[in-house]
Structure 1
Amino acid sequence: MSTSRRAEHYHHGDLRHALLEAAMAMLEAEGAAGLGLRELARVVGVSPAAPYRHFDSKGRLLEALAITGYQRFSTAMWAAERQSAPARRIGAMGQAYVRFALDNPNLFRLMFSPELKRDGRPSLRLAADAAFDTLKAVTAALPEGEKRVAALRAWAQVHGLAVLLLDGQIALRPGEDVDALVAAVIGAG
């Protein structure tokens, strides 16, 4: 193989972004267990060593995916909050929370996976905290001492509902609309 051809084969415009997008697709299709840096390199069309320039391990790749997930998650909740009347903001954010989980089940599970410890991963901690801050923002009118507990209460409710739905623990009745059920359960209707 000539040097110019090799350089052409290994050159990629934005490899980190391409790797993350391909990994996101693989994650949703196969779950975190199905992800591997060598397979990812094959899918993107680069050498097996190329992904290691951006992610020194599978753990770092999973961390980057979780950070991307938290960013998308926060964006979805903020969009729901901005599009709602003040009295319905927390319910709209709760619905966005559960909808994100249902639309991105493997990403959602990765984001909250006990295997991805936030300790020692400052970027992951910041992304997770920013997502929680979206829930805290709608409690701004409450006294300072009540904001955290109100946000935790809302988080526990929507997270529990999302996990129960993802795990099939809540069976939908024939013709039942999951979004209407979620709205009724969290009081957003």
Structure 2
Amino acid sequence: MTDKRPFHHGDLRAALISAAATAIERDGIENLSLRGLAQDIGVARSAPYRHFPTKQDLLDAVAAASRQDCHAAYAAIPSDLPPRVRLKRAGQFYLDYVRAHPNMVELIFADHAAAPGQAASESPLLLFIDMVRDAMPGAEDGEIVRTAMTCWSALHGFSLLALSGRTARAGLVDDTDDAVLDTIFRMVPG
């Protein structure tokens, strides 16, 4: 039996990345299938392999696109706001993103998703470090990076606790985001 679906599809690469992101959110990373995506998009089962020879190649592309989305959200925070306000907005975006996209967060932080070829300027973590740098004028780079990594670690840890429901079980409610973000960013001197 031959597959009579078309091999070509406008921008198949972009369609596959988008469909994969949707499938990952719906079904998890482990259930992603290139052939299943081909069927969902309506192209031949072999078509995705032209752009992504392996499932891992597709996962890397989806992770890179997701990191670019995070970077764009951080970059959209007005630069004329006070530095701590910018950091707090970035933190709230991150908490909201983790809650809305738990499977995508797992993919972004997976060992294999080390952003091969991603420009340093597109890294959300590096942009976050730059926000901390803005809040710490005159500080040495080492202190800035340590402070940024401490804040990022606390933010990521809190987001995972909130996602798992542990904050709710501990009697904390969603309106604690504001208080937790204030506490995290108090670590930034200035």
TM-score for both structures, normalised by structure 1:
0.82
Identity of aligned residues (%): 32
For 1:163 and 1:127, the matched residues in 2 are separated by 25
Q: Deviations over 1:55-109 (max 9, x none)?
A: 0111111111100111111112222354743341211111111111111111111
Instruction: Pick from 37, 44, 49 the counterpart of residue 47 of structure 1.
Output: 44
**Equivalent of 1:165, from 139, 162, 180?**
162
Q: What is the alpha-carbon distance in structure 2 between the residues aligned to residue 84 and residue 183 of structure 1?
A: 17
Distance in 2 of aligned mates of 1:100 and 1:172: 21
Residue correspondence of structure 1 range 1-189 to structure 2 within 5 A? 9-80=6-77, 82=79, 84-114=81-111, 116=112, 118=114, 122-123=116-117, 126=119, 130-140=123-133, 141=137, 142-171=139-168, 176=173, 178=174, 180-187=175-182
**How far apart, in 2, do the equivalents of 1:75 and 1:11 lie?**
30
Bigger helix share? 1
Task: Name the CA distance, whole Å, in 2 between partners of 1:128 and 1:156.
Answer: 21
The 1:161–1:127 alpha-carbon spacing in structure 2 relative to 1, beyond 3 Å, is: farther
Distance 1:183 1:42 in 2: 44
Residue 150 of structure 1 deviates from its aligned partner by 1.2
Runs of 4+ with >6 A deviation: 172-175
Whole-angstrom distance in 2 between the partners of 1:117 and 1:43 = 24
Cα shift at 1:149: 0.5
Amino acid at match of 1:136: I
Specify whether residues 122 and 151 from structure 1 end up closer, same or farther in structure 2 by C-alpha distance, changes over 3 A only. same
Distance 2:161 2:171 in 1: 18
Unaligned residue ranges in structure 2 (runs of 5+):
186-190
In 2 relative to 1, CA 60–171 (structure 1 residues): closer, same or farther, beyond 3 Å? same
Which consecutive unaligned segments of at least 5 residues does structure 1 have? 1-5
* d(CA) in 2 for partners of 1:143, 1:64: 35
SS across alignment from 1:11: coil
Q: What is the RMSD computed on CA atoms of the aligned residues? A: 2.6
Residue in 1 aligned with 2:188? none
Aligned pairs, number: 177
